[in-house]
Chain A
């Protein structure tokens, strides 16, 4: 197992926000993050690999390309873009990308869901893990929190953005629609909410559990600027789509990105099913899954 020493953490050069890392590096990082996800949940035999794998490209794009981030971490996040994960159960991808973006040592991924760890099953500020600004996991609260942070940015004359990711199934929680109504009504236009539109939730397809209807039309009817990313597992498409979303900010409307993803993406037997929403692979399954994603940047 390779340990990445602190001096080799991938950090983002704040002097050159718009310098995009090399695409082949990003592709390597995506594969490495998938390995991190699989190995985290396997080791502790619990966690949510499916949604994590589906959002790998999004997290890599967000933290490596799109967000303007300061070095280090402080809770207030003044003068930088900030991110909230509403569907906290996909913590494995969040932790992996945070670690590999320099927020904390990569080998700490070894402690995921263990006793005395900062890497709780669902993200929390309680243990002081850099990169996390609110606890999430009890669903439906992230958009509200993001709106609050966005309103504070406006009060502070801070023109940076607030990014949020939430699940599609999560939109069944009523609080989201209170928040969606508020954000449009109050022109919270420094906010980009991305919906992980994979059509799956724990009990099955959203279509069978509780149909979401036409999400695009719903967000539009509430007064949002809505756009879609057709393949949220295509890095270039995610980057270009999110850049377009960024261009839509500051125009009086909150921005919603419906990002179609495949749950379990990158591991053939985990794809297109809800079966791996909250289940860890066994030894044999892990081996197969890792063989489909050969080591790139070095395992932790």
Chain B
């Protein structure tokens, strides 16, 4: 088994901030917009370095999306920053018409996704955003797993022409992917090789999947772990290649089981190689207040839940 080490817990949103800072220095066309959450999104450094390219729009997300769409006309690459809830559900029609349908080169960068936003509660914890965004034709959907990957993804999406939804979170989590990684949109990363079950995880659940694989290994179960950072376009080949070997899948995500990664994987399998699947995801529910750990435990989104799901899906083979 490969050994992964946490180089020190860091928040993925800081990875976004660091990526944006680097982009600001190397690409003059990159502009950033924020709806009164500059500190939360870690956009301060970009703002300080390039005040002329930073646009504070106030608490007006719909207007922010429209302005971002318009700024692409003339060649700018706008990065919008606010919480995931206000980046998607609140402004769905603005994204749909002015950005996605109009095929504008806007990068929608969303922090505080999922339950791990914590104490603010369900009003701010969106668990439907992956579904909302992946349903939009032409939209690329990315959910990164740690600081290093979020930084790499932020830099990479500037070179991809077209609308992108980049999802990350608030809490400090294990930082275990390489600092110097090349981020390739749409390309899954195999983290563990295994033969009994495939665990396909995204976002904060990737680290949990690695922990689960260790526990399973101790029980004599060989788990393959795949980090799917790009939910759309999905790396179909990686999914099918692994399932051909293991014969069953656990998907793990900090999102509702409707509309999430699990459904995308299920569709690929249904069309090509129907196989048993278990979903580690929220069960069509809103969140609530609590610490991130308490919430992930209560809603079954951790290593323990992945282990249970793996044993269950293996028994169904």
Contact = CB atoms under 8 A, between A and B. Distances in A.
Interface of A: 75-78, 82, 84, 124-126, 133-138, 140-153, 155-156, 158, 174-175, 178-179, 181-182, 185-186
B102 interface: yes
Contact of A175 (B53, B62, B74, B75): B62
B67 A144 contact: yes
B216 interface: no
Contacts of B60: 178-179, 181-182
B63 A146 contact: no
Interface string B64-75: 011111111111
A149 B102 contact: no
B58 interface: yes
Interface of B: 31, 52-53, 55, 57-58, 60, 62-63, 65-76, 78, 93-94, 96-98, 101-104
Nearest to A122: B97
Contacts of B67: 144-145, 147-148, 151, 179, 182
Contacts of B66: 141-145, 147-148, 175, 179
Contacts of A133: 73
Given A152-B76, A155-B53, A146 B58 contact: no
B74 A134 contact: no
A125 B71 contact: no
A136 B97 contact: yes
A133 B73 CA distance: 8
B27 to A, nearest CB: 13
B55 A151 contact: yes
Contacts of A149: 70-71, 73-74
Given A175-B63, A182-B57, A152 B70 contact: yes
Given A124-B102, A151-B67, A141 B97 contact: yes
Task: List the 8 shortest-distance A-B pairs measured between CB atoms, nearest first.
Answer: A148-B70, A144-B66, A152-B74, A178-B63, A178-B60, A148-B67, A145-B70, A148-B71
Given A134-B69, A144-B66, A175-B63, 4 more contacts: A77-B74, A144-B69, A148-B70, A148-B73
Contact of A76 (B52, B73, B98, B103): B73
Nearest to A176: B63
Given A134-B70, A135-B97, A144-B70, A126 B63 contact: no
Contacts of B97: 135-138, 141
A153 B70 CA distance: 10
B31 A146 contact: no
A146 B53 CA distance: 17
B64 to A, nearest CB: 8
14 contacts: A82-B73, A126-B102, A135-B101, A144-B67, A146-B70, A148-B72, A149-B73, A151-B67, A158-B74, A179-B67, A182-B57, A182-B58, A182-B60, A185-B58
A125 B74 CA distance: 15
Contacts of A137: 97
Most chain B CB inside 10 Å of its own CB: which residue of A84, A125, A145, A182? A145
A140 B97 CA distance: 11
Nearest to A145: B70
B287 to A, nearest CB: 27
A167 B102 CA distance: 21
Nearest to A188: B67
Contacts of A150: 70
Most chain A CB inside 10 Å of its own CB: which residue of B52, B69, B101, B102? B102
B73 A138 contact: no
